[in-house]
Amino acid sequence: MSFSMKLLLKNVHVVDPVASRNGRFDLLIEDGRIGQVGRDLPVEGTRVVELPASLVVTPGLIDIHVHLREPGQEHKETIATGTASAVAGGFTAVACMPNTDPINDHASVTEFIVKRATEARRARVYPIGAVSIGSKGEELTEIADLHAAGCVAITDDGRPVATALLMRRALEYATMVGIPVIDHCEDPSLKGDGVAHEGAVAGLLGLRGIPGAAESVMVERDISIAELTGGHVHIAHMSARQSLRAVRTGKERGIKVTAEVTPHHFVLTDEALQRNGGYDTNTKMNPPLRDEADRAAMVEGLRDGSIDAIATDHAPHHADEKALEYDRAPFGIVGLETAVSLCLDRLVHAGVIGLPRLVELLSPGPARTLGLPGGTIAVGAPADLTILAPDASVTVHAASFKSKSRNTPFDGWTLKGAVAATLVGGRAVFVNEDLAGRGLNDSSR
């Protein structure tokens, strides 16, 4: 074995809630895998990297809700730019949504995504297949084929699963192959052609409203169907306090229901629609930014354990599309490169949760939710690691995103907490040398 293949991260602060580690350890990386975690490991035959003392090493962060747009919408994002954005944001793995063109409703599309991701050599990519052909809500896809090709879940994200019967069948087949159904919860008749949360702000701006109940009636329907089938339903981008109540009740009754929340839904409210003269389309997302009671409920759910994961719903759109008037602009914002800073600033530094709970929500929580590898720093496992600079102050600069798109409401925000480096399979795929120093780059060259 060559000298350079053994890398020793010496005396680094490790936060790994699954392994109950929160303290200083030596981390030996051997041939891309975790060789040893311990104290005073021998340095002979290794390349030693010392990191600034303020940095924290965590198991690789995992974002289970990302739109990579390829195939078909490469003007918004590609698998190469999306995974470059992921690792710049500290994510070693992402799960990508099937609403591409064509839709990922067939194993050939799944195989294309897997191939492109391997070529990109950045974050790991776990494709998610469609529930129905063309996500039209009519005919189920071949779920076993999708799973065999690499899909880790199914969803018609962008749309709800059209009928209760289709959701029943989807949960039955998904359960047979041991994967969850990810649920974009919205009742089309209650949502109507709404573009903003139904409330005072939408009223003031003259925008059509979407009530929280448009989400929660679907959450309640599908928790009932999860109970009926014994299947696992995962609630995507939960935003309404009524939905959280339904998830809590479902969990108490032993139903397999999990839920994720996006940073924008726990940081912003519909008040943001009034900023900058109003009608900033970077505040238009689905589900919409809701009111303070909803935002506070999401924060409480993250704190008390009723929410399983933080996911970004990274939804790149071209500037020309977002430049349309509010009613016509597409829903969604990019999230991969702002998530960690928003979480550290608004949850950890704000005193809502400690760093171990945040790591739980960004790594083992998402891994468990979709049954993915990772979530802990385990001997023998690939060395997928995120190195955080929790105390570094950063200003969001959308123009320098690795993502192809810049549609974010957080441009110009100054936040406390940043990503110093990201390692996938022991390889430094992203390094901010100002924060991490040069040791990681030198050793991977």
> What residues act catalytically?
313
CB 83 within 8 A of CB 122: yes
**234 contacts Zn ion (rule: CB under 5 A):** no
- Whichever of 184 and 322 has its CB closer to Zn ion, that residue is 184
Helix (H, G, I), strand (E, B) or coil at 192: coil
Burial of 14 from C-beta contacts in 10 A (0-12 / 13-18 / 19+): buried
Stretch of residues binding Zn ion (CB under 5 A), selected from 147-155, 181-189, 356-364, 366-374 = 181-189
Choose among 404, 333, 367, 388: nearest CA to 64.
367
CB 125 within 8 A of CB 93: yes
- Whichever of 198 and 260 has its CB closer to Zn ion, that residue is 260
- Whichever of 32 and 102 has its CB closer to Zn ion, that residue is 102
Distance CA 246, CA 227 (A): 13
The two tokens of residue 355 are: 């760093």
Distance CA 122, CA 403 (A): 13
**77 contacts Zn ion (rule: CB under 5 A):** no
Distance CA 320, CA 331 (A): 13
C-alpha distance from residue 108 to each of 112, 145, 147, 170, 208 (Å):
6, 10, 12, 20, 40
CB 280 → Zn ion: shortest distance, Å? 20
- Whichever of 235 and 359 has its CB closer to Zn ion, that residue is 235
**184 contacts Zn ion (rule: CB under 5 A):** yes
CB 156 → Zn ion: shortest distance, Å? 9
Residues 188-217 that bind Zn ion (CB under 5 A): none
Stretch of residues binding Zn ion (CB under 5 A), selected from 111-119, 184-192, 256-264, 298-306 = 184-192
CB 392 → Zn ion: shortest distance, Å? 29
Query: Phi then psi for 222, rounded to 5 degrees?
Result: -80, -25
- Given 156, 308, 313, 345, the residue binding Zn ion (CB under 5 A): 313
- Whichever of 26 and 215 has its CB closer to Zn ion, that residue is 215
- Given 16, 26, 77, 157, the residue binding Zn ion (CB under 5 A): 157
Distance CA 38, CA 33 (A): 15
If one counts every other C-beta atom within 10 angstroms of the C-beta of residue 119, the result is: 10
Size of the site for Zn ion (CB under 5 A): 3
CB 184 → Zn ion: shortest distance, Å? 4
- Whichever of 339 and 377 has its CB closer to Zn ion, that residue is 339
Stretch of residues binding Zn ion (CB under 5 A), selected from 105-113, 129-137, 151-159, 226-234 = 151-159
Interacting residues with Zn ion (CB under 5 A): 157, 184, 313
